[in-house]
Amino acid sequence: MFELFQSENNDKYYFHLKAKNNQIILASQGYADKSGAKNGIESVKTNCSDDSKFERKTASNGKFHFNIKAANGQIIGSSQMYASEAGMENGIESVKTNAPTAEVKEKEA
């Protein structure tokens, strides 16, 4: 499920892609308005089937994470940190599996 919400801190809109266990798989950048965040969700749904859109990274602390990018190269969403490369790959597979058919729920402020 995609959870769409507005931050109380900066009034920007964000979304999370959550797994069935409610764990956050992907977190978005901030958007100025709700329609921008909804476009971001659609971009994740569109781009997640293309493995080349996933940027795999290793942090300075040795943990693994990934970004998913739009066709224009802009980062749409970022993952949590994973202890292993295999965990990161599982996270990517989870996005590929869950995002295309995930429903969007708006969280009330």
Reported pTM: 0.92
Looking from the CA of 36 toward its CB, the CA atoms found within 13 Å total: 11
Question: What's the CATH number where 55 sits?
Answer: 2.30.29.80
Percent with pLDDT over 70 in the chain? 99
pLDDT at 20: 85
d(CA 74, CA 104): 22
Host domain of residue 101? 2-106
Name the band, by pLDDT with cuts 50, 70 and 90, for residue 109: low
Q: What is the pLDDT of residues 7-57, one digit of tens each?
A: 988 889 999 999 888 899 999 999 999 999 999 999 999 999 999 999 999
Could you give the number of structural domains in the chain? 1
Specify the DSSP class assigned to residue 83: S
